Structure formats: C-alpha cells, structure tokens
Amino acid sequence: RGTVLDKPLQVLFVSRAEAQATMSHQRHLIELGDEAQATVLLDFSGDGGERLATHFFDVRLGRNAKLTLYRVQNEAAGGTLVTRIDTRLSRDAKFEAVTIDLGGGFIRHDLDVSLADSGAETTIAGLYAQAKHSHIDNHVRAVHAAPHCTSRMNYRGLVDEKTKAVFNGKVVVCSGAQKTDSEQRIANLLLSRKAEVNAKPDLEIYADDVKCAHGATVGQLDEVALAYLRSRGIDKG
C-alpha cells in the first residue's frame, strides 16, 4: 500500500526446445495496494524447436493505484504462446497496457479489464507486426461495471507475406454504468496480397447516458504513394 516503484520491473520468460518438443504452464499474480504505482515489463522470447507455453496473469489494483504494463512477444517460428491477463480496477485506479507481437508461430493473447468501481480508467494500445507464416490473435475486452469510468483501445497491425492476424475488441457497458466514456480505434495495413487480417470492434451497451465510439480499417499501401517514395530514392524492398 502506498509504494511507488522508482524503476520498472522486468520479468523474462524464455522458452527453449531442442530435440524434443516442450511445454510449460504458469500462473502469476500482480497486485497493487491502495495508492501504489508500478511499471512492469513482461518479455517473452524463445528459440529451438516446437514448444507450447501458457501464462495466466491475475492483476488486481487497489483504490487510486496505477499500473503500467508492457507485454512484448518475440517468439521464434516454432513457438506457440497463449497468454491471458485478467485485470480488476478498484475506485479511481488506472491501468495502462501496451502489447507488442513481433514473432512466433501461433500466438493467442486475451486481455480482460474490469472497471469495477467509479472513476476507474484504462488505456490499451497494441502493435502486431509478426514474422512470416505466423498467426496472431488478440482478444481485448473492457467491462464497464460502474459509472464514470473511461476506456481507450488503440491497435495497429502490419501484416506481411502469408501471415494472419485476428483482432477482436469488445466493450461492455453494464446496466447502471452511466457516464461511461469509451473509444476503440483499430487500423491494419496489408503489405502483401497473401496477408490476411480479421478485425472486429464490438460494443454491447445496457446504459443510456454514455459516450462510446468504435472503428476499424484494413487497407493496402497506396500505389501512387509507393511510386512517390521510390522516386525519392526509397527502395521497394
């Protein structure tokens, strides 16, 4: 309670597989007392052959606590990684999350945020720019269970070669959660004709005094813009 970490806390998760396939399953708890503040970096990487790793994080924030959480994933092509982060915010708590996916074979990430008390705020941002032939799923859910809460989702995707990305962002505004302020923004760029993105923003509203917005785009690089860049000496590759 009341503790403020003066430096970020980095947690390394390194998976290695050699001759035989491996797997590991872990559960973690991150808890901040009232008025506490911390920055935590979750760093996932791996090398070697086939492997499966699952990680579940139970995150609890006390009154007026603040947590900044970074999740960075750079698995090798043989890696299958499943992560889930369940977060519960008390009154006036703040949760900021940044997720970055750069590698892996099959990656699945679920992030659930419960704004359980008045004045809670969450900002969730993400980038997926995965390796060739990978599949990356991001499923993000914010539940407004109390009035006067704020949520923001902002994700960007860069998809190349025969890669596939899925993003599902959902905001639920429960009955009685008046004065909710929520916004989702999802933008994806296809860098090849064989790349694929499925993006779905979703709103489920059971209150009548709210401000909610959402939008998603998927597009390719503009040929005219590319020609302009190449005319200025930027290589096509």
Is the distance from CB of 159 to CB of 189 less than 8 angstroms?
yes
CB neighbours of residue 217 within 10 Å? 11
Is the distance from CB of 143 to CB of 114 less than 8 angstroms?
yes
Element (H, E) at 225: helix 223-231
Q: Which pLDDT score is estimated for 220?
A: 83
Question: Which amino acid appears at position 200 of this protein?
Answer: K
CA distance 101 to 68: 17
pTM reported for the whole predicted model? 0.91
The pairing of beta strand 164-173 with beta strand 135-144? parallel
CA distances from 6 to 36, 46, 98, 219 (A): 11, 29, 19, 42
Is the distance from CB of 77 to CB of 46 less than 8 angstroms?
no
CA distance 195 to 180: 36
Average pLDDT by stretches of 10, the chain with 237 residues: 96 82 92 98 87 95 98 89 97 98 93 98 94 89 97 93 90 96 94 88 94 90 82 81
